[in-house]
Amino acid sequence: MLNDVAIKKEMFINRIKEVTGDIKNLNGLNMGMNGEINGIAEGENGKAKVETIGAGGYNIQCYHFRVLVNEIK
């Protein structure tokens, strides 16, 4: 049975693959002190900017991360 971390890792990778196709290089990604992963991912169909933002605050039950993956044209 997959644990929570493995599931989130798979979801993260699949989000990048949706934009870049098969991933070729993740060396452009960096993990910040607060756990955010940001940078550039490269794949067979191009590059993507990966940006993680913290979501929480008023009327949010649990602080969590949102991962944004945008194609670089």
What pLDDT, in 10s, does the model give residues 15-71?
Answer: 999 999 999 999 999 998 888 999 999 999 999 999 998 887 777 678 788 899 999
Distance of CA 10 to the CA centre of its chain: 10
Specify whether the CB–CB gap between 52 and 65 falls below 8 A. Answer: yes
Specify whether the CB–CB gap between 22 and 43 falls below 8 A. Answer: yes
Dist. CA 73–CA 42, nearest whole Å: 12
**pTM score, whole prediction:** 0.81
Residue 10, SS3 per DSSP: helix
Dist. CA 61–CA 7, nearest whole Å: 21
Token duo for residue 4? 């929570």
